[in-house]
């Protein structure tokens, strides 16, 4: 309660104006991570199915296999990098959002609701335990290994 009152009116208005932008940024970065994962995994599944069902010669030369493996590895590495980049930006936006919420008194007991805070205290730290990026990268890595294995099996 004292934090918001100690802010000048102009500062409070700026925070209130920034809040929706940061909130949207947090959601947009999360969605971007999901879209990147979905696209990369869809492509890898398509590639895997194509590799396993194609009636191409069953023994490609080593050079072709090397290029295919390198291409798949680079593709997956690029998408892993992009996912991690979005995660880092998501974390920065989330930290800023939580700081704005603190300054606006959303975690202060009795400021908006009598006897309790508007937002639960644990919302400030729950996001730190989020393991979704680990799941995204694990699935991406697994599909990459399967595609590479399908190339190597044909040698």
DSSP lists the bridge partners of residue 116 as: 113
Residue matched to tokens 């040698």: 155
What rounded mean pLDDT belongs to the chain? 91
pLDDT tens figures, 106-119: 999 888 888 889 89
**Which structure tokens are listed for 39?**
């696209």
Which pLDDT score, from 0 to 100, does residue 139 have?
98
Question: What backbone torsions phi and psi does residue 112 show, to the nearest 5 degrees?
Answer: -110, -35
Instruction: Tell me how far apart the alpha carbons of residues 41 and 115 are, in angstroms, rounded to a whole number.
Output: 48
pTM, entire model: 0.87
């Amino acid at each position: 309660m004292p934090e918001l009152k100690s802010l000048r009116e102009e500062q409070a208005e700026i925070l209130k104006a920034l809040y929706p932008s940061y909130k949207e940024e947090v959601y947009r970065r999360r969605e971007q991570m999901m879209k990147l994962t979905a696209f990369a995994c869809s492509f890898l599944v398509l590639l895997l199915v194509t590799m396993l069902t194609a009636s191409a010669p069953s023994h490609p030369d080593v050079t072709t296999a090397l290029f295919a493996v390198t291409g798949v590895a680079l593709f997956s590495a690029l998408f892993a990098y992009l996912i991690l980049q979005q995660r880092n930006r998501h974390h920065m936006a989330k930290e800023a959002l939580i700081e704005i919420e603190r300054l606006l008194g959303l975690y202060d007991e009795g400021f908006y609701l009598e006897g309790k805070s508007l937002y639960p205290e644990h919302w400030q730290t729950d996001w730190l335990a989020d393991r979704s990026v680990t799941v995204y990268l694990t699935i991406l890595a697994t599909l990459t290994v399967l595609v590479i294995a399908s190339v190597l099996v044909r040698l």
